[in-house]
Amino acid sequence: MVKAKYILIPLGLLLLLVILQLVAALSATTAGRNEVNTAQPRDVTYSYKDKRPYGGYVAYHWLQQLWDDKKPSVITRSFASAYNRNASMKDGGNIYVILANHNYTSPGDLRAMKSFVEDGNTLVLGICRPDSALDATFGFRTAYSDGQFFGMQRTREQDTVINFLSPLLDQRTFLGGSLHAANYFTSVDTAVTTILATDRDHKATFITIAQGSGRVLVLLDPVALTNYPLLSHNNHRFMENVFGYVPNYVNNNTLYWDEFYKYQTAPRTDADDSNGLFALMKRYPPIRWAVWLTLLTVLFYIVFESKRRQRIIPEIPPVANTSVEFVKTMGKLYFEHHNNTNLAGKMAMQLLEYIRNRYSLNTQELDEAFMETLSRKSGYPPEDTRALVYQALQARQGYNFTDEDLHAFYTATHQFYQNN
């Protein structure tokens, strides 16, 4: 007991320390998420499966209609990982759509994105707040005012106003419930950039950038592409206008839909793109906690179960069913004397005794009513029940059973017992 006391005290302190670290990590992660998403509610997910007001279900399925019913391919890994593993992304003529609050791209992601565009593909970025690395990669700068999310309970003055500048569009001004005048471009590379739309204050919010043989579309109000805004007013035309700037590739292109960056809550490095255990623990805090708790559980098991507290109880073989052995022995004895009629009578007596005890039936009269009642109570098919009772009746009346008759009667009784 004294040794156990000295072991349990350090283990208790270690457990308390681990719990405090987990609580601190959870608090830091929650605080970081709250700080990042102060401008938007928690239900802005952009997820292609989310049918709530600010999910991406409508946009995902409308994309399929805009591209000749070509279903978008869902990507759940980083851009660099997808680009390096998918050779067809380097062929040109592909479209990659990312909707997220923050992009949190690693340097490897940005290099892959630039190569993807230069190869003749189109990258559509609907991001509220691009990071400075993304700005530098594609030559623009952004700024943010104190925007407020008004959602569905808003006035007309609080509506997001998106003005498309092209005079060729049927409808150039759209209203939607999202971030009001919060994000805009402050400078762009005019040599390769075209401003496509502005907000209520005539600040650029939607641009296209030419890079090599492809282009990048950057929209700073991706909430306008979620379910509720798209289904409001005539905003289905808004999505048509946005993706109308994507070239109509004639080759066998692929449409990609990102499901990775919308769930990232912290900056990433190239090491995060690896698939090792430590990379996964760093990328996903729940996995990290699960690993630590598993190690702690194993440690407790080793400490408390290292010594066997009781000898193994030897296994006691089950008692043999002597009644079954007796029946088998008697059956062999009757068979050796070849007294089929006597044996059939004993089998009929055993069967009728079983029926009386199990189903509480009177076996004096084995008539049609008895057969119907037995079939209903036992669940045995009526035809099989009738044949079985008829054989039992013959055995009770002393019918001369041949070997074939005896075998058929035995088979019928055995199937009846098995059924019950």
Cα–Cα distance, 37 to 25 (Å, whole number): 18
Distance between CA atoms of residues 65 and 55, nearest Å = 18
Residues found in the chain: 420
- Six-digit token pair at 99? 């909707």
Residues 6+ apart with CB under 8 A from 96: 75, 79, 89, 116, 121, 122, 123, 124, 256, 258
Instruction: Give me the phi and psi of 97, to 5 degrees please.
Output: -115, 125
- Dist CA 415 CA 408 (whole Å): 11
The C-alpha atoms of residue 215 and residue 232 are separated, in whole angstroms, by 29
Q: Which long-range contacts (CB under 8 A, 24 or more apart) does 117-120 make?
A: 117/211, 117/212, 117/214, 117/215, 117/216, 118/211, 118/212, 118/213, 118/214, 119/89, 119/90, 119/91, 119/92, 119/212, 119/213, 119/214, 120/92, 120/93, 120/212, 120/213, 120/214
**Positions of the chain with pLDDT under 50:** 1-2, 5-6, 26-39, 147, 150-155, 179-181
Task: Judge contact between 122 and 94, C-beta under 8 A.
Answer: yes
* Residue 216 CB partners (closer than 8 Å, separation 6+): 113, 117, 122, 123, 124, 125, 138, 208, 209
**pLDDT attached to residue 43:** 79
In the three-class reduction of DSSP (H, G, I as helix; E, B as strand; rest coil), residue 217 is classed as strand
Q: Are 80 and 109 in contact (CB under 8 A)?
A: yes
| Contact predicate 109/231, CB 8 Å | no
Domains of the chain: 26-273 (3.40.50), 322-419 (no CATH)
The DSSP element (H or E) to which 417 belongs, if any, is helix 403-419
Instruction: Answer yes or no: pTM beyond 0.75.
Output: no
